[in-house]
Each structure stands twice: as C-alpha cells, then as structure tokens.
Amino acid sequence: MPRFLVFALQAAVVFAFLAGLYAQIVVIPTTAADQVEMFPPYAPIRVPLVTAAILFVACGQVALVGLGLLLRRAGRGTVFEPSALTWANVVVGATAAATVVTAAVFGYVTLSDIPSPTDGMDVIGLWLGTAAAVVAGTVAVLLLFAGRHLLIKAIGLRTELDGVV
C-alpha cells in the first residue's frame, strides 16, 4: 500500500478520533444542556441519553484505534499475520458494542414516557432513528465479521504459501 495513502488514512483516523473526543467533552453535554434549558421537561432524560451518546462515541474511538493499527500493519505489509486478528477483533467488538448501546437507547425510548415540546413527532423520529441505527449497526457487524473471516482465510493461505516457498 502506498505510504502516502497510509499516511492520509491515518491522519483521517486521528482527526476523527480527536473530533470524537471534542464531541464527548463539549458538543454532547452542551447540546443536552441547551435542550434542557429550552424545554425543562427533558431534564430527567438528559443523563441517560448523554451517557449513551458518550459511550457510543467511545465505541467509535476504540474502533478507530483498531483501524489505525490495521492501517499501520498494511503500510508495513504485515496485515496478513495472525497478530492482525487482534485488531480486527477490536474493530468488530467496538462496532458490536456501539450497536448494543444503540439498542439500549431504542429500548429506553420505547419504554420511557419522553415529553415532547411539539406533537410528539420528534419522539417518533428518535424511535425510528434508533431502530434504523440498530439495523444498520447489526449489518455493519455482520459485514465486519465476514471481513474478519476473509482475513483469517488470507492469513491461512499466506502461511501455507510461506511453507511452500
């Protein structure tokens, strides 16, 4: 893999990680505080939803670390070694954890009585959005798991080829 491409992708991973950190520290809490200020009945749901949002972003950051380390291996040409599976497992696990967090939010929204400043369509939108995110997250986990399986096969073929050569 060309060094420039690896460097550009690693820079994008670092930027995304830092953007996630900024979102966890500044954007999510500030937005939640603003929403509670505009509509005080949101106060009881602020903590659970902020916690879920921060956990979701943290799962994304863990996946980014795993992806960054896989990119580093790709740059060195060592991606088809058995130790690369550790980082592939980290990416799959972090994506699965983010999907679980989203499913928990879906359950919370389904079972809670969330107040609405309008006619309730915002709550329905949140419910449908989290349902769609759970489906998308499940599909992403399955695709990543399939990619992990292909990596295992490629590592096996590489090991076999090294034995022949």
Q: Does the pLDDT of residue 117 top 90, yes or no?
A: no
**Average pLDDT of the chain?**
93
Q: Residues 40-74: pLDDT tens digits? A: 988 999 999 999 999 999 999 999 999 999 999 99
CA-nearest of 112, 121, 143 to 46 is: 112
DSSP annotation of 119 reads: S
- pTM value is 0.90
pLDDT for res 119: 80
- Provide DSSP, 65-116: HHHHHHHHHHHHT-TTSTTHHHHHHHHHHHHHHHHHHHHHHHHHHHHS----
Number of domains in the chain: 1
- Provide DSSP, 122-158: HHHHHHHHHHHHHHHHHHHHHHHHHHHHHHHHHHHHH
**Quick check: 140 and 95 in contact, CB under 8 A?**
yes
Token pair 């130790």: residue: 83
Which residue range is the domain that position 123 belongs to? 3-164
